[in-house]
Amino acid sequence: MAHKFGRVAVTGAGGMLGVDMCKALEPHAEQVLAWDRTALDVTDLEAVLTMFRIHQPEAVVHSAAYTKVDQAEAEPDLAFRVNAIGARNVALAAEAAGAKMVYVSTDYVFPGTSEKPLNEYQDTSPINVYGESKRGGEWLASGLVSRLFIVRTSWLYGDHGPNFVKTMLKLAEKKEPIRVVGDQIGCPTYTVDLARTIVRLLETEKYGTYHVSNSGACSWYEFAERIFDLAGLSVDLSAVTSEQFKRPAPRPAYSVLDHMALRVNGFPPMRDWETALKEYLRHNQLLRQESRPIEC
């Protein structure tokens, strides 16, 4: 099979999405340039420009990010340096190399006041520093690189690195009561599915902003409930309110993403979040044994 790309770079290649992104790109590219934090500091403009000048990638998936939502409230300069200035640096380098760019953003650019799924053309208004820094990255990249996909996603989990699913399963081992927020609604997204859709986008010239998350919606409590159900675990689980579970950074109460741009541009819909979760658990041998019908 002929490769559709020559060289494709992935920043943040050691992260949860970055690892799956590199795997998804391998069948489609002659070479995947996996740049983790040690290989490339995206906050260093000269280092980024030099790396692109040497390797001349045809495309770059910029997944390197500062993702500590609560800690960002205490260190906003660092969050903006990585998420906004880092995006500017990669955008400048991509434009100089004539490369396509994917900037991975977040549902947290929205305030959470909507009561129906949010499409790509609605106004953003983040309510925490992390969301503000990611929106800053969107603005800077869109003003500097001509061939750009902004991909907003939500509630990521995957095989590599810490995530909500792993946290819930670890808490279950302790046999103690588990309290999870029940009044924040969004959509869990499997990094494998996100990476595959990003590859589909890169194969086209259909630039713009896209919402890419698994289909459907749930609360964090309902997400936890389904995790334990599929894993066959009996736990003392109950829902609490955001007010009862105060954290430094406020979260959007509702950040379900509508996939309008995928639909109108002719891309296939994302599968539902429960099917994706089941595959993740099966892949990690965490899915309970499902009973099979007896054949007569």
Domain assignments of the chain as residue spans, ordered by start: 5-163+188-214+257-271
User: pLDDT above 90 covers what percent of the chain?
Assistant: 92
Dist. CA 121–CA 212, nearest whole Å = 14
Token pair for residue 267?
């891309």
User: 């939500």: which residue's tokens?
Assistant: 154
Query: What pLDDT was estimated at residue 273?
Result: 97
130 is annotated as an active-site residue: yes
- Which of 103, 130, 157, 254 is catalytic? The answer is 130
User: pLDDT above 70 covers what percent of the chain?
Assistant: 96
CB 8 within 8 A of CB 60: yes
Dist. CA 266–CA 203, nearest whole Å = 13
Dist. CA 259–CA 201, nearest whole Å = 13
The average pLDDT across 28-43 equals 96
Closest CA to 87 of 71, 105, 75: 105
56 pLDDT above the threshold of 70 = yes
Dist. CA 208–CA 210, nearest whole Å = 7
Residue 40 identity (one-letter amino acid): L
Closest CA to 207 of 122, 101, 57, 78: 101
Q: Using 50, 70 and 90 to split pLDDT, how confident is the model at 4? A: confident
CB 122 within 8 A of CB 147: no
Dist. CA 62–CA 164, nearest whole Å = 23
The average pLDDT across 111-131 equals 96
Residue 85 identity (one-letter amino acid): I
Q: Mean pLDDT, the chain, as a whole number? A: 94
CB 213 within 8 A of CB 107: yes
Dist. CA 44–CA 66, nearest whole Å = 15
Second CATH level (architecture) for the domain 5-163+188-214+257-271? 3-Layer(aba) Sandwich (3.40)
Query: What pLDDT was estimated at residue 293?
Result: 46
Q: Using 50, 70 and 90 to split pLDDT, how confident is the model at 264? A: very high
291 pLDDT above the threshold of 60 = no
Dist. CA 4–CA 286, nearest whole Å = 35
Which residues have C-beta within 8 Å of that of residue 116, sequence separation ≥ 6? Answer: 256, 258
Which residues have C-beta within 8 Å of that of residue 64, sequence separation ≥ 6? Answer: 11, 12, 15, 18, 35, 37, 40, 42, 82, 86
pTM: 0.94
Cα-Cα-Cα-Cα dihedral of 261, 210, 257, 85, to 10°?
Answer: -160
State the angle between helix axes of 191-202 and 273-283 in degrees (0 to 180), rounded to the nearest 10: 110
The average pLDDT across 25-34 equals 96
Q: Using 50, 70 and 90 to split pLDDT, how confident is the model at 288? A: confident
Query: CA dist 237 to 179, 227, 229, Å?
Result: 6, 11, 11
* 45-55 per-residue burial string, b: 16 or more CB within 10 A, e: under 16: beebbebbeee
